[in-house]
Structure 1
Amino acid sequence: MTEGVETMGRPVLEVSDLHVRFPTSRNWLGRPTSFVHAVNGVALRVRAGRSLGIVGESGCGKSTLAQAIIGLAAYEQGRVAIDGQDFQAAQGKQKRELRQKMQIVFQDPQSSLDRRLPVWRLISEPLHIRGGHSNAELHAKAEQLAVSVGLRPEHLDRLPHEFSGGQRQRIAIARAISTDPELMVLDEPTSALDVSVQAQIINLLLKLQRERGLTYLLISHDVALVRHFCDDVAVMYLGQIVESGPADEVLRNPQHPYTQTLLAAAPSFESPLPTIAEARTGELPNNRRLPAGCFYKERCGKAASGCETRQPLQRAGDGPRHIRCHLALGN
């Protein structure tokens, strides 16, 4: 069994022991001498038709994890499998087919859309790249996709800058579903939008999931959004998953000290969690030199004997929850 997030159904995405680091300095021979350790041994599994939310503070490695999964960031260790097939090891036609099974929607739609192309071309571009379609067929397909995301077909000859932020995100979503993907990675898809528009985009994504059986991996710092949108959640800290399980269970009754602190700091209209008095203040540690032992111990007021050793992500009891803390597990 894959260590980490475990959900029901056929696995669409499986990530095992993923490590991503970036060189920050080199010697005179051009060899790296120091690194940023962005992702440090992440393992997760997302099954068909489910939504998994990755939540954590800025700098914890969420977006880098998303980019590594989709193939936009290289990883030096670990495995990413789509429908059981190793994405990195795939070649040629198999690689292209796996790539079409997953798409990504970015935080800022304006920067991810070519401002020189009309919207119908942007929406149908993945199909154009695949080949085998005339311009008339691509335009007709773009119209169908535009209607499915709430855009007016008569506006498809316009350029992206003629649309509002929410409309541009709908364009990006239409483009992402054009290849009928199984997995969609959503990297902070609503954080650049007004609150009222955020709700519209989330409702659209939920509708598309019901209609198309999509599987979502949502990257977000918004705990309330993850609670509403996701079936399951994984909490990241310094490139590691520290707690995972069903979203409602984890977010209503957090067990890892970091998850407790994160949720206590999140605004909520529901009954707030009690303030975690034991939590120490401080910024995320420098990820150029990873802490020895538990990554969170320097900020955790509950740190005790045993925290000086590296903590594995372990199943809590017989349920689907996993926790990276020997104190929370009662060990």
Structure 2
Amino acid sequence: MNANSTIHENTHGSHDHEADDPTAPFNEVETFNTIWEALKWKHIRARVPVCLRKTLHNRYMLGNIVYLGYAIGILIIDFNPQVNGSADRSSADQNSTCTAPVMPTLDQPITPNPFMNQLYLGFSVVHIVSAFLYWWAWAGRSWLDVIMIPEYLNHIEAGLYLWSSLWYPNEDTLGGYYTLAVHKIELTAAIVELFASFGWIMSWYMTYTRTLGRGFTLNDPDFIAFSCTSISSFVYIVYNIQINVDPLQYGTNTLYMYGDIVYFVGSCYYIFASLRDDNWFWFLPLSGQYGIASGRIRVETKDLPQIGRPVVLMIDPCRSRTRNTEPVGPTVIDLAIITSL
């Protein structure tokens, strides 16, 4: 669009229709020379209402906001001493008269923290809500579509974490039945999360509109978000393997905190990606430069389709091949039988 044209509005949130959205960033045809030129009042007045309406109708943004709240809550539990009870433990250690360190054993009791257990249970429910919202965000897609597989894996992972959080109050010792069972459940959940992370990359590849400034590049927030999700899954797997091999590290091994930090960074980039898709960042340089509009660049390629691949259902490999119903000519044996008759 040129400087004097009006902006047409299309607030449909489906991936299948984003290529028809004239306000999508990859359909942008207006160029700017400086950021100050892009932030003139006439552009703000014309673009912000459209971006706001698109964001309010964006199902992915709702899922990303819940996902971000979940990541922030986990970080609060990790680093707030008043919440995780580390402040009480440090004051008790200062008042203790014992100077000799006590070596932990499998029979060492675990001091329960009812408040933290309730927080973990509540955030597990939020995790399930987030998984449902991401499934719900695939508007116009069949529930049998293969791109739904990572969403179902996300539900399984969230259910496993809910299961483990329900067993937190039953932990009594480092080697107790419920404690060891929690370690195994959370290791399974971390492995499922890793498969879901690679599945999201697959879904993104199959449905993503790739053009200038979008794709497998570090300037794409989607790419960084998926990378953070995969890295955090690897961190959780390593942590849970260490805890399952040596249960005495439970409570002292803080490797999972680094995974939570990377998890939070990924949730922020999911927000940035949704805002970018709603064209909130029209004033920023595209691919590191001004004076170019992605909507005026059309590269015909078979390897990177513009609107993704067609729908593939999970039951497609199980379907039988179409039978050949065309008339078949008489064989040599049939002609011999007819001749003898």
TM beyond 0.5? no
The TM-score with structure 1 as length reference comes to: 0.24
More strand by share: 1
Structure having the higher Rg? 2
More helix by share: 2
